[in-house]
Amino acid sequence: MTARILALIFASTVFTTMADDLRIGMIGLDTSHCVEFTRRLNDPKNKNYVEGGRIIAAFKGGSEDMPNDSMKRIPPYAKELEQKWGIKMYDSIDELVKDVDVVMIESIDGRKHLEQALPAMKAGKRIFIDKPVAGSLRDAIKIYDLAKQYNVPIYSGSSLRFYPNLQEMKHTDVGEVKGAYSIGPAHMEKHHPDLYWYGIHPTEALYTITGPGCETVVCTFTPDTHVVTGVWKDGKVATLRGMRTGVEPYRVSVYGTKKVLDEQLSGDYTPFLREVMKFFQTGVAPVSPEETIEIYAFMEAADESKREGGKPVKIADVMAKNKP
């Protein structure tokens, strides 16, 4: 047997061992993501199976002041994870992090994420935090500051970013990108800034095209619509339209000097989960902390503009105001 073949066998064995050994702990069982992700990660027969590790432990979590969005969802999701997938339930996050390699924070309530991430950071675990990364811009900044302090890689994002046709749009040569338009649902929850709850999805789709660098934001608000326009430092003008009634497709338009693209987005969680697993294995997030924080600053600036009757708001001012 040649040295090359032996090396290939060894590499394959190492990869399999790494994948088998990656034990994932899940915190928060009040979102459908916890079961959808488990089905993809724990079932090799699933057509959307994602290699790299298995969910083996969970902490139920929950928010008492969100009975319908949180507490009522936990029993059926916990039952499936425990009975169908054999996942062990833990009474505390401190105990859970002792028995896992990496952590997925799935709690639907962004206000919980800072306190839930801290034990994992202290234990040195790589952490994926599902959207929204936090319940406020101040907490979002603090989470990333603490991650840097503890030298723990962290990633948070929306699955829309990795929808195949959005990625194709991102990598198509349209010339210089002069602007973009992103449409999607933006249902709100009273404990979170307006766009944090669901508007994060079309907002991150917008940033997938534009990248960071927004300087000012203007928001027009009605009970069923958000229209948020940002001006980037390089001159790009990009707009988010968040909808709460009628048809609510995810759609993105890109305006380039060579070409204009327009697509209704389609996809599922699978490409996104593959990126999460790469992050767990490498410690390198597919989106930088700086861009992620700016996305939440963009949404917070939209709130500030709304409160000020549609006046332009500077991202830098919002960041300074929310510095921990």
Q: The CATH number of the domain where 188 resides is what?
A: 3.30.360.10
Q: What angle do CA 207, 211, 217 make, to 5 degrees?
A: 65
**Domains in the chain: how many in total?**
2
Kindly state the tokens that stand for 142: 């603090």
DSSP structure class, residue 87: P
Is residue 290 pLDDT above 50, yes or no?
yes
- What is the SS3 assignment for 234? coil
Torsion of Cα atoms, 75 then 76 then 79 then 83, to 10°: 170
279 belongs to a structural domain: no
**pLDDT, average across residues 66-73:** 96
Given this model, what pLDDT does residue 248 score?
86
Q: Which domain holds residue 18?
A: 3-159
Calculate the average pLDDT of the chain.
Answer: 93
96 and 215 belong to one structural domain: no
Written as six digits, the tokens of 259 are 């070409």
Q: How many whole angstroms separate alpha carbon 142 and alpha carbon 1?
A: 54
Q: What is the pLDDT of residues 113-130, one digit of tens each?
A: 999 999 999 999 999 999
**pTM of whole model > 0.85?**
yes
Are 8 and 84 contained in the same domain?
yes
* Domain contains 273: no
CB 237 within 8 A of CB 230: yes
**CATH number, residue 92:** 3.40.50.720
Q: Tell me how many helices (H) and strands (E) the chain has.
A: 11, 13
- 56 falls within a domain: yes
Q: Residues 7-25: pLDDT tens digits?
A: 333 333 333 334 467 999 9
HSE-up of residue 257 (Cα within 13 Å, Cβ side): 6
Query: Do 15 and 70 lie in a common domain?
Result: yes
What does DSSP assign to residue 259? -
Residue bearing tokens 């101040």 = 138
DSSP string, 165-217: HHHHHHHS--SSEEEEEEEEE----TTS-TTTTTTHHHHHHHHHHH-S-EEEE
Question: How does pLDDT run across 188-211, given as a tens digit for each residue?
Answer: 999 999 999 999 999 999 999 999
| 178 in a structural domain | yes
CA distance 202 to 244: 13
Tokens 């600036």 appear where? 301
